[in-house]
A and B are shown apart, each in its own frame.
Chain A
Amino acid sequence: NAGVTQTPKFQVLKTGQSMTLQCAQDMNHNSMYWYRQDPGMGLRLIYYSASEGTTDKGEVPNGYNVSRLNKREFSLRLESAAPSQTSVYFCASSAPGGVNSPLHFGNGTRLTVT
C-alpha cells in the first residue's frame, strides 16, 4: 500500500527555472494538500484541493500553481523559481470529514533554488 507518493525526492534549480512536483495517492481520498516546511516555522499550506476539479489558495500561494489532474493526482508547479522557495515540500491527503480527518503525508521533496 503506497499511500501518498511524491516525486522527485530532491531537486536543485537555478533562479528562474520552472518545475513541477508530482503527487499521487491511492487511498481514494477526496482532499489533497501541498505544504512547505522551513526551519523555525510550522508547515504552511500552499494550496489545497477539497475534491477533484477544485483548488483553493492556502496561506502562502504566491509563486505557485496547482493542478488537480484527477482524484489521485495533485501537482505543484513553480513557474519561475526563486531562492525564497528553497524548502521541503510535502504533499498530503485526507479522507472525507474535513478538519476531523488526519492528514497522510508523502515523503517530501527537498528543493534548493540557487
Chain B
Amino acid sequence: RKEVEQDPGPFNVPEGATVAFNCTYSNSASQSFFWYRQDCRKEPKLLMSVYSSGNEDGRFTAQLNRASQYISLLIRDSKLSDSATYLCVVNIRGNKLTFGTGTQLKVEL
C-alpha cells in the first residue's frame, strides 16, 4: 500500500460543476496535511493547508477524516483555470513530507 494514495484520474468535468478528490494516508499519527496544485510542466504551488476542523478558501474546501485516514478537496463552480494536477501532501514520517502522485482535473466548456 502506498503511504499517500490518490486516484490519478483524469476527472473530466464541465465548467460550473462541483468535484471532489480524496487522498488516503497510511500513518494514523500524521499531523500535517496540504493540497498543492501543479500545472503541466510547472512547479507545485501550495493551494491550501488542511486543518482538523476543515477549512475553506473561496471555492475550495478541504477536510480531514482522521478515523478513516483521508483528506478531501472539494472544488465548487469549477473554472477552466482549475485544470491542473492536485497533489496531496502528508507528513508520514517525522519531519518529512510525502507527496501523492496527484489527481488530474480537466474542466471543459
Contact = CB atoms under 8 A, between A and B. Distances in A.
Interface residues of B, number: 23
Contacts of B57: none
A105 B43 contact: yes
Contact of B101 (A42, A58, A100, A107): A42
Nearest to B91: A99
A50 B95 CA distance: 10
A102 interface: yes
Nearest to B44: A105
Nearest to A38: B101
A22 to B, nearest CB: 16
Interface of A is mostly: loop
B95 A43 contact: no
Contacts of A90: 43-44
Contacts of A41: 101
B32 A107 contact: no
Interface residues of A, number: 22
B86 interface: no
Given A42-B102, A102-B49, A108 B43 contact: yes
B31 interface: yes
Interface of A: 35, 40-45, 48, 50, 58-59, 90, 98-100, 102-108
30 contacts: A35-B99, A40-B101, A41-B101, A42-B4, A42-B98, A42-B100, A42-B101, A42-B102, A43-B44, A45-B96, A45-B97, A48-B96, A50-B95, A59-B96, A98-B95, A99-B31, A99-B32, A99-B91, A99-B95, A99-B97, A100-B32, A102-B49, A103-B44, A103-B46, A103-B89, A103-B97, A105-B44, A106-B43, A108-B42, A108-B43
